[in-house]
Structure 1
Amino acid sequence: MSLLRTFKALKPCSNLSSSSSTQESEPPRKPPKSSLSQQLLRLDDSYFFSSKHESKISITQVEDSNRGEDDHKRSIKFDAEEKEEEEEDETSIEFGRPGLNRAEFDYTGPFEPLVLSLNGETPIIQVPASINCRLLEHQREGVKFLYNLYTSNHGGILGDDMGLGKTIQTIAFLAGVYRKESDAGDASALESKKGPVLIICPSSVIHNWESEFSRWASFFKVSVYHGANRDMILEKLNARGVEVLVTSFDTFRIQGPVLSGINWEIVIADEAHRLKNEKSKLYEACLAIKTRKRIGLTGTVMQNKIGELFNLFEWVAPGSLGTREHFREFYDEPLKQGQRAAAPERFVKIADKRKQHLVTVLRKYMLRRTKEETIGHLMMGKEDNVVFCQMSELQKRVYQRMLQLPEIQCLVNKDKPCGCGSPLKQAKCCGRIVPDGTIWSSLHKDDSDGCDSCPFCLVLPCLVKLQQISNHLELIKPNPKDEPEKQKKDAEFVSAVFGTDIDLVGGVSASESFMDLSDVTHCGKMRALEKLMASWISKGDKILLFSCSVRMLDILEKFLIRKGYSFGRLDGSTPTNLRQSLVDDFNASPSKQVFLISTRAGGLGLNLVSANRVVIFDPNWNPSHDLQAQDRSFRYGQKRHVVVFRLLAAGSLEELVYSRQIYKQQLSNIAVAGKMETRYFEGVQDCKEFQGELFGISNLFRDLSDKLFTSEIVESHKDINISQTQKKSSLLETVVSEDEEEEEALCSSKPETEEPILKDLGILYSHRNEDIINCGRTTTTSQKNSDENFQFGDRRNKKKRKGLSEEEDMSSSNREQKREQYKMVAKFKGMEILEFSRWVISASQFDREMLLQDFLERVK
């Protein structure tokens, strides 16, 4: 399909009403969630050809049924004159957006204090009215939660989603505890003889804490213990001239012995997930803090492993989860084993009980809220698309040559018997070192016998090379900033993997040609990005473009210059004192269309709500990094629907990276929130017996070019996610209501133009991440039964209204009989309908057949 034909297929996603009066009277509607192709079909084509239309256009918007909201359908009709006026209005709205660069916590509530203490308690503890009047309702609940932890003389976790105001809630809580009745501070910490407060946070958000205290509670005496003048601040602290001390994690790790000797009243760790590693010096330093009132602030309580939960809660509330060994045996292992795709039913049952028990315990020490639960009604919503881009032919050939290198073959064959006749495996015999490998020789240039960890020292360098090939071939070329010896070794590697294609990329040296670096011919992701950005920019969308690699940002910068897009950039080299000004300029300037950001530098403390398109160019092994990047735009103050595009190279290592992200996110939802998650994978983390398709070196360096790895796993479970209990046995078939069938058909239907559009964009496959994560419904038994009764009672009336034939009505009757039989089998099993449906989903085919056989024998 040509580019012009692709542009002709793009249609607008409009949320305008037919008149301004209607728009004012109706509540704001959330745009429909849909597939990637359907999103592209909604984009405006007026940029590419004439904006004049003779006929009127009707657009129907349907809310996503999975969100549990009522379906909204409305037709918006406008003629050519009205469309021109609306386009002018859109321009002023899109590019003006005054005020979006502010945090926008300007909600005005009742001007009265928020009482925290119980009735009859003296003195009365309350948040000053000047702060309380600007708090949202969920923030008031958070302040009360923090005060309950304080009065209980133990710590806890405020685990709200990013962007829900954890900083503001903390400041309001401190203002109440320290009895800051007014700007004058009627009862200061010095008068009440309370100790000072210590706030430990990433260095990138130190200035944010300062500004928030200045804005919300300027009556606090705040000092920063970071960089120069630390000794002077320490003297001031000892003289009781400081009420709140803010320091960074790195500074506290070094100065821990000095600061731990102070009698802190409260210690607060912002981004507390930094305390996930019990072996780190930072964790050891934080454990030495004397106070029991330790509060952790984090939107990602668990990132990689369930064991991180124990480390975090052992710091805020020591002993709350038992001993480390008890936690591992009672919670960690059962939850992981129960999530295995082929786990026996008894494992699944045990995991479900332990999950519920763990959530009950955690709720005593943690308050966790999401954006959807709190401020979802104030925002337009977000779609998180995972887009699998086809690698260029050159990328595929280079990737295949990389997999055939002796270093990778050594790792893949490490467990095979050695060819020398020794009983040892190759990794402990002749395959321990790879003297003829360019990567191995570069790592061991001073030791021809290798290191103690050979050959496993090769894993990380090889993974980095594969990821670089997946993103852009220029990344594997020698970096001019490296030492000459390393550049020489990198040039040898480049020559080996490019082979006969070396002339296509301009040789082994790093290219200095602007035109070559900005060309998208040999980069699959940039080809897709080029066409997507063309449609976004034409509509006035503002884009955040994230990458983990600074060199990749350099290439993307040249690409943006070639296309004529106006952009800003922020990475690790950007001075801290300039970062906020760059953010403010991007939010306020209508000319700035794109913001290039390093994922590492821009993950925290940035509020970029003027952007409504987010592109994550390369995935991270830690899913929280990608989620934090998304939340730079999707936070309180965002006025538009946010659409995220995570670009993955199909058939490469990045598919495995994303699959592990799914696995980690699911474990987090299970352990932290007690949610049901679809069991996609056979692999179990940190278990050599069940490495499955996810874990182990062999999986890391597996050739995935002949298949769509992720789609095969996801699609194999798609029917289970939709119908819940679609099985071979007719007795165990769940009867879906007519409305549900229509909704599913609507969601699953693909327009005829979908595949050509995606193919022309260089996209092989795509899905929404929210459709994969947390697919299990949380409907209670009583709700489900009432829903079933309503569906049964209304089914015949629906069929009569629709004029269905008698044969179709007979089919409906059969379905009702099957449902009744399904209930009988559930009763025979001793379960309620919902519990039994979960059992059917998780049970093996053999278990289901045995149950059915026992039931039929009992009936006879």
Structure 2
Amino acid sequence: MSLSSSKEILRPCAQQSQCSSSYSPSANPRKPPKSCLSQQLLRLEPLPLPGKQLKHLKEEEEEEEDASPRFDPTGPYEPLLLSTSVQVPASINCRLLKHQREGVKFLYNLYKSNCGGILGDDMGLGKTIQAIAFLSAVYGKDDKTTPPPKAKGPTLIICPSSVIQNWESEFSKWSTFHVAIYHGTNRDIIFEKIQSHGVEILITSFDTYRIHEKNLSQTINWEIVIVDEAHRLKNEKSKLYEACLAIETRNRYGLTGTIMQNKIMELFNLFDWVVPGGLGSREHFRDYYEEPLKHGQRSSAPERFVEIAQERKQHLVSVLHKYLLRRTKEETIGHLMMGKEDNVVFCAMSEVQKRVYRRMLQIPDIQCLINKDVPCSCGSPLKQVECCKRTVPDGVIWPYLHKDNPDGCDSCPFCLVLPCLTKLQQISNHLELIKPNSKDDPEKQEKDMAFASQVFGSDIDVVGGYTQNESFMGLSDVEHCGKMRALEKLMSSWILHDDKILLFSYSVRMLDILEKFLIRKGYDFSRLDGSTPTGMRQSLVDNFNSSPSKQVFLISTRAGGLGLNLDRSFRFGQKRHVVVFRLLAAGSLEELVYSRQVYKQQLSNIAVSGKLEKRYFEGVQDCKEFQGELFGISNLFRDLSDKLFTSEIIQSYDRQGTTTHEHGHEGASGEQDMMSDLGMCFLPPQARDKSELFSSKESNKRIAPLNQDLGIVYAHRNEDIISHKRGCDVDVMQEVPTGIHSCLPQHVPKKKHGEKANASLRRAHKIKQYRRLATFMGMQVVEFSKWFLSASLVEREQVLRNYKRRRAVVCL
């Protein structure tokens, strides 16, 4: 039995529905590793197996592998027929994957119907290649040198400036178009070529098109317009959106892996560009779709609201999917890739961090925002924000923002929100970030000094004074930073197991602190930030990938550009499992922001994919009546340092039971499915309740870390929280409609009994193999589970070493 197989056996058994997406190229899709989170944190590996039993299980695994379908990523050298006279050249088709051929067909069917649409594949699935193959068919490109059958107007491609060169490079690799770039100093020459019909494909950036919109939209008859990263068109009030609306062509196509980012109305803006009028008017969309979907997702929504939201969701998804093709890596090339696991880890802030955070919440600037709706103390009938407390002259931040305007600005006091949030985020990350920076101008240093004096208070000596710590040892010390404490323990384990580590941070100053930490620990690392020369970036990446000695890559999340995006660590060709750990400061602003992200991702899954999502939250976005626990300024500046905010919400959902949340659908099994350790599902209820680590009865009343060494308060896999039901519960038709305004009838499909049966079979199979492992250890199942839960890290590591030695002997 392989190491990955044993890991899969040892994770907790939970009934999970299979993906039921309408697009399923493989009958045996890859399953991500999904090892339990505590196992990842402690780096436990499978237990040692006697040779005879291991050989037996290995034979079973080989039989299963032999039965699984093989996948040939390349196709035959023959054209892809899209119609009787239109085809993708064989030289391109033979290099396309199956899902890419489907994408080309989707785009051509839209084009044939003279309407636009969106290719919404995940990042890394080849949207650029699919677009080029589609254009090759439309323009009659052939492997031969014969001219195209019919002259057509040029195609305009609008994309971020950072990927212009990538588009040009892909065109040169895949086809024989006359490509020009309308960007930089040669615009006039290129424009003359377009007017003389010497250009087939014109590539430009968002900013260049916005500035030169009149020349490009009013003087040229575009055959096709493609917008890469089309989610940039989410804001109907932006100048870019207005400029793109001026393009005179029915064949508008968007490429994006992020159909919706923040609000459901973003869907309307994007689709109203590709298919004008396809979703009706803006007011109709808001009243008929957005409001019912948001209020139906409220945790305490009446049953009638939930039913209406379900009906509207089905109708919206059916309409959207006539113009949208959305595929994920799991549904397409997942079985060709290694796994990915996204863990969210809530790290306990240090005691001094908590005190500084609380002092920050008490400064006059934030108190003015929190009490903005309180009646003014002067006796007037107005609220504070409308009367005496509109400005904050005694504040710490306000005076600096308005040093040139003592009377305040038109936005007062709401102009304080962003600066205050930034300071809270800095405190959550590292206390050194709020100290004055010696590289700043004297005026800003003076302002930061006043702020540091206010929030450090009596802890000023504990944190090493008001000025930035210049001591190498002091700056790399993890004592006063919760995240650094957890990171130190986790990295020690990862390095021990020869893992490659990508360490991302938004703040460059935080990168400096992390760099000192890595040097102190003796780790061999590379660093890439905004100051890294463009020509060196790719060589740094290549060196990190090829050099065994390079252990850590320190990266600024703002240092992308020129086709280099290091967030793409999970991609086709990746040779290792990718395990993501998002470190959040428990009880801080970061935790609330994460909960809002969960809310927004759930709305996106509902509106775009028709998925069923757990109804955790009471808050409704953009609704003052139901701000709940998420929305509004008061929630942003709430003190959560002594609460398990996210954990409480999830556990509250589990206690109530999913039958009250997803009406008419079978729910998850509640708290048992949230257990994040091995063998827990085999313990009797009494043993579970007595387990200090996982008992939920007192968890809401304490903030002490579950693991004192790691400093972790709470952790979960993001995929366990978002997307309760995999796949879509709406029958989706991909055919292009004959009329743009046509609508599909509402339909509620019945649940397939086979899904439940398959889940039961998988669970039974895992239980069977788990019992075998217990027998190999000479224990009963319950006894083995108890041993595992009580075993120390040293004992578990010893098991790992023994297993590796025995495994090496068996392999020989």
Q: TM-score, normalised by structure 1?
A: 0.75
Q: Which residue of 2 aligns with 1:341?
A: 299
Cα deviation, 1:111-149, whole Å, max 9, x if unaligned, reads 1111111xxx3xx21111111111110110000001111
Distance 1:578 1:320, change over 3 A: farther
1:235 aligns with 2:202: no
Distance 1:457 1:790, change over 3 A: closer
CA contact (8 A) 2:489 2:709 kept: no
**Deviation (angstroms), 1:231:** 2.2
**Deviation (angstroms), 1:44:** 6.5
Deviates more, 1:373-382 or 1:590-599: 590-599
In the aligned structure 1, how far is the partner of 2:759 from the partner of 2:445? 71
> What amino acid is aligned across from residue 200 of structure 1 in structure 2?
I
Partner SS, residue 233 of structure 1: helix
In the aligned structure 2, how far is the partner of 1:578 from the partner of 1:554? 19
Q: Which residue of 1 aligns with 2:64?
A: none
Partner SS, residue 385 of structure 1: strand
Q: Which residue of 2 aligns with 1:99?
A: none
Partner SS, residue 247 of structure 1: strand
1:125 aligns with 2:114: no
1:638 aligns with 2:574: yes
Cα deviation, 1:169-199, whole Å, max 9, x if unaligned, reads 11111111111112x65325xx732111111
In the aligned structure 1, how far is the partner of 2:165 from the partner of 2:40? 39
Q: Which residue of 2 aligns with 1:113?
A: 79
Distance 1:201 1:410, change over 3 A: same
Partner SS, residue 531 of structure 1: helix
**Deviation (angstroms), 1:603:** 8.6
Partner SS, residue 569 of structure 1: strand
**Deviation (angstroms), 1:735:** 12
In the aligned structure 2, how far is the partner of 1:204 from the partner of 1:187? 33
Distance 1:747 1:202, change over 3 A: farther
Work out which of the residue numbers 546, 549, 552 in structure 1 matches 2:507: 549
1:763 aligns with 2:730: no
Q: Which residue of 2 aligns with 1:40?
A: 41
Could you say what the CA RMSD is over the residues aligned between the two structures, in angstroms? Answer: 3.7
In the aligned structure 1, how far is the partner of 2:291 from the partner of 2:634? 23
Deviates more, 1:458-467 or 1:773-782: 773-782
> What amino acid is aligned across from residue 715 of structure 2 in structure 1?
S
Work out which of the residue numbers 83, 107, 117 in structure 2 matches 1:146: 107
Distance 1:29 1:424, change over 3 A: closer
Work out which of the residue numbers 761, 783, 786 in structure 1 matches 2:752: 783
In the aligned structure 2, how far is the partner of 1:562 from the partner of 1:322? 60
CA contact (8 A) 1:44 1:539 kept: no
Q: How many residues align?
A: 696
> What amino acid is aligned across from residue 148 of structure 1 in structure 2?
N
In the aligned structure 1, how far is the partner of 2:296 from the partner of 2:322? 25
Q: Which residue of 1 aligns with 2:3?
A: 14
**Deviation (angstroms), 1:317:** 0.8
CA contact (8 A) 1:38 1:754 kept: no
> What amino acid is aligned across from residue 181 of structure 2 in structure 1?
V
Cα deviation, 1:659-717, whole Å, max 9, x if unaligned, reads 00000000000000011111111110000111000000110101101211110001111
| 1:19-98 superposed matches below 5 A | 32-43=33-44, 74=57
Cα deviation, 1:68-124, whole Å, max 9, x if unaligned, reads xxxxx95799xxxxxxxxxxxxxxxxxxxxxxxxxxx9932211111111xxx3xx2
Distance 1:266 1:480, change over 3 A: farther
Q: Which residue of 1 aligns with 2:784?
A: none
Partner SS, residue 513 of structure 2: helix
> What amino acid is aligned across from residue 424 of structure 2 in structure 1?
L
Q: Which residue of 2 aligns with 1:425?
A: 383
**Deviation (angstroms), 1:40:** 3.0
| 1:185-224 superposed matches below 5 A | 185-188=145-148, 192-217=150-175, 219-224=176-181
**Deviation (angstroms), 1:567:** 2.5
In the aligned structure 2, how far is the partner of 1:678 from the partner of 1:726? 7
- The share of aligned pairs that are identical, in percent, is 71
Partner SS, residue 371 of structure 1: coil
CA contact (8 A) 2:390 2:413 kept: yes
**Deviation (angstroms), 1:283:** 0.7
Q: Which residue of 1 aligns with 2:785?
A: none
Q: Which residue of 2 aligns with 1:698?
A: 634
In the aligned structure 1, how far is the partner of 2:42 from the partner of 2:759? 36
Partner SS, residue 298 of structure 2: coil
| 1:237-252 superposed matches below 5 A | 237-252=194-209
Work out which of the residue numbers 377, 384, 394 in structure 2 matches 1:436: 394
In the aligned structure 1, how far is the partner of 2:99 from the partner of 2:659? 33
CA contact (8 A) 1:109 1:135 kept: yes
| Larger RCO: 1 or 2 (CA < 8 Å, sep 6+) | 2
Q: Which residue of 1 aligns with 2:782?
A: none
Distance 1:60 1:601, change over 3 A: farther
Cα deviation, 1:768-816, whole Å, max 9, x if unaligned, reads 1111101136686352389579989x99xx99xx9xxxxxxxxxxxxxx
In the aligned structure 1, how far is the partner of 2:246 from the partner of 2:552? 45
**Deviation (angstroms), 1:600:** 3.1
> What amino acid is aligned across from residue 243 of structure 1 in structure 2?
E
> What amino acid is aligned across from residue 622 of structure 2 in structure 1?
D
**Deviation (angstroms), 1:225:** 1.9
Structure 2 runs not aligned, ≥5 long: 8-27, 61-70, 695-704, 730-748, 772-812
CA contact (8 A) 2:80 2:88 kept: yes
Q: Which residue of 1 aligns with 2:119?
A: 158
> What amino acid is aligned across from residue 107 of structure 1 in structure 2?
P
CA contact (8 A) 1:37 1:758 kept: no
CA contact (8 A) 1:43 1:535 kept: no
Distance 1:148 1:60, change over 3 A: farther
1:474 aligns with 2:463: no
> What amino acid is aligned across from residue 237 of structure 1 in structure 2?
I
In the aligned structure 2, how far is the partner of 1:488 from the partner of 1:59? 72
**Deviation (angstroms), 1:324:** 0.5
Work out which of the residue numbers 353, 364, 375 in structure 1 matches 2:322: 364
Distance 1:735 1:424, change over 3 A: closer
In the aligned structure 1, how far is the partner of 2:125 from the partner of 2:415? 42
Q: Which residue of 1 aligns with 2:223?
A: 265
Distance 1:196 1:771, change over 3 A: same
Distance 1:724 1:591, change over 3 A: farther
> What amino acid is aligned across from residue 285 of structure 1 in structure 2?
A
**Deviation (angstroms), 1:505:** 2.7
Distance 1:379 1:283, change over 3 A: same
**Deviation (angstroms), 1:500:** 1.7
**Deviation (angstroms), 1:335:** 0.5
**Deviation (angstroms), 1:407:** 0.8
CA contact (8 A) 2:263 2:600 kept: yes
1:656 aligns with 2:592: yes
Cα deviation, 1:403-429, whole Å, max 9, x if unaligned, reads 110111111111111111111111111
Q: Which residue of 1 aligns with 2:132?
A: 171
> What amino acid is aligned across from residue 316 of structure 2 in structure 1?
L
CA contact (8 A) 2:33 2:340 kept: no
Cα deviation, 1:35-82, whole Å, max 9, x if unaligned, reads 32122344469xxxxxxx9x8679999xxxxxxxxxxx95799xxxxx
**Deviation (angstroms), 1:573:** 3.4
Structure 1 runs not aligned, ≥5 long: 1-11, 19-26, 46-52, 62-72, 78-104, 609-628, 803-860
Cα deviation, 1:601-621, whole Å, max 9, x if unaligned, reads 34994465xxxxxxxxxxxxx
**Deviation (angstroms), 1:17:** 9.3
CA contact (8 A) 2:124 2:571 kept: yes
Partner SS, residue 253 of structure 2: strand
> What amino acid is aligned across from residue 615 of structure 2 in structure 1?
R
In the aligned structure 2, how far is the partner of 1:223 from the partner of 1:536? 47
| 1:560-599 superposed matches below 5 A | 560-599=518-557
CA contact (8 A) 2:43 2:493 kept: no
**Deviation (angstroms), 1:754:** 6.1
> What amino acid is aligned across from residue 752 of structure 2 in structure 1?
Q
Q: Which residue of 1 aligns with 2:744?
A: none
In the aligned structure 1, how far is the partner of 2:92 from the partner of 2:237? 40
In the aligned structure 1, how far is the partner of 2:565 from the partner of 2:588? 33
